[in-house]
Structure 1
Amino acid sequence: MSSPTHFLDTNTCIYIINKKPPQVAEVFGRHQIGDVALSSVTVAELAFGAAKSVRKGTRETLEEFLLDLMILPFDEAAAWMYGDLRARLQATGQTIGPLDLQIAAHALSAGVTLVTHNTGEFARVSGLKLENWFPE
């Protein structure tokens, strides 16, 4: 399996799972297995969403979605990157949500592009490569 080139953010995963909008799932389908991965932080956010969902089968649908995806653990390199990013953003008053900050730090430390519809918030993170598969 190759090294991933992209991390999916939580909102992108939800668009793919629900096939709404369908264009996001279509772009995802054009990538090779192994090119797209998830941060364990994203999986935690998705697991929380599934746990609080009232829709039957949400957890099973999520587990099926995760089967072919590489899930990378939030490691020491990501932790150090998180500390640096948080200090830098806090010093400039440009903070972002704590889990989004962890996902951004993990993407930076892994050297991958983050696929998100939340580009406004993530754009505050200098050096983070972003893609938005959501149709404009």
Structure 2
Amino acid sequence: MKVLDSDTCIGILRGRTEVLARRAAEQDEVVTTWITASELFYGAAKSVQPEANAALVVQFLNTLPVLIPDLASARLFGEVKARLASDGRIVADADLFIAAIALSHGATLMTMNRRHYERIQGLAIENWLRA
């Protein structure tokens, strides 16, 4: 399973050739999270064409499952946040929620922001802009 982060979704929505090609060739199930969906709607709402962009977001999100939190991801969120805090490392809660959901599903996170996630132990990360 591959979990799309916001930046990868935006790459698809903007028609980035490299991202579209990797998405089309992907054999694993491709999903996203409710957090990413929220971030996409936020971006649409603050854009010059909020209604049109929100419609594009809805159209895109209707093409893939959107994962919601469960007790397993909630527990992982708490454990990972505590571990990072004890090491003096901070990761934004939204990124931690996305990572916890990916971890709880044994999935690979598709992101272009490696530095946001590389401190999270056990999280598999891939970037569809790089081979």
Query: Could you say which TM-score interval applies, normalised by the shorter chain?
Result: over 0.9
SS in 2 for 1:50: helix
Matches of 1:126 and 1:41 in 2, distance apart? 20
Unaligned ranges ≥5, structure 2: none
**Are 1:18 and 2:19 matched, yes or no?**
no
1:45-64 pair list within 5 angstroms: 45-55=39-49, 57-64=52-59
1:91-102 pair list within 5 angstroms: 91-102=86-97
In the other structure, the counterpart of 1:28 is: 23
SS in 1 for 2:9: helix
How far did residue 48 of structure 1 move?
1.2
Matches of 1:13 and 1:68 in 2, distance apart? 12
Matches of 2:59 and 2:26 in 1, distance apart? 18
TM-score, normalised via structure 2 length: 0.93
Matches of 1:31 and 1:132 in 2, distance apart? 13
The aligned amino acid for 2:39 is E
Deviates more, 1:103-112 or 1:56-65: 56-65
Matches of 2:78 and 2:88 in 1, distance apart? 15
Matches of 1:104 and 1:47 in 2, distance apart? 20
Kept in 2: contact 1:117–1:132 (CA 8 A) = yes
Matches of 2:54 and 2:10 in 1, distance apart? 12
Alignment identity in percent?
A: 38
Matches of 1:113 and 1:125 in 2, distance apart? 12
**Are 1:112 and 2:81 matched, yes or no?**
no
How far did residue 31 of structure 1 move?
2.5
Matches of 1:45 and 1:74 in 2, distance apart? 16
The aligned amino acid for 1:122 is Y
- Tell me the number of residue pairs that the alignment of Structure 1 and Structure 2 aligns: 130
Select the residue among 3, 7, 13 that pairs with 2:3: 7
Deviates more, 1:123-132 or 1:48-57: 48-57
How far did residue 103 of structure 1 move?
0.4
Matches of 1:78 and 1:49 in 2, distance apart? 25
Matches of 2:124 and 2:9 in 1, distance apart? 18
